[in-house]
Amino acid sequence: MNKTEIKKQINRRFYQYVEDNFPEYDIDASEGYGRIYLIPNTGEGHEADNSIEYHQSRHELVCFNNASKKTHEDVAKMQSYISNNIIPFVTLLTV
């Protein structure tokens, strides 16, 4: 696999992980520029404050400092999973 294929494979696996484990987030790819937004569909009215940004080429997740504690915990879980379970596995497949 070339670098582009590797990134696409990592992204595909990450989106599947989010859909399977965090159904409260909607995946929004309308922004462009390599960014995907995970927007909570809680109906509480604070969706923008608790959204998570995922960068497709750096495979990094960020949220606002004033996001809820749950959002910060979700970011940590997602980042840990992508860094420890997805990236090493996909990289191993390319060897």
Closest C-alpha to 44, from 71, 15, 80, 81: 71
Q: Is 26 exposed, middle or buried (0-12, 13-18, 19+ CB in 10 A)?
A: middle
Distance CA 46, CA 23 (A): 17
Domain regions of the chain by residue span: 3-90
Residue 91 is predicted with a pLDDT of: 84
The 10s digit of each residue's pLDDT in 74-90 is 999 999 999 999 999 99
Tally Cβ neighbours within 10 Å of residue 83.
13
The 10s digit of each residue's pLDDT in 15-66 is 999 999 999 999 999 887 899 999 998 776 667 889 999 999 999 999 999 9
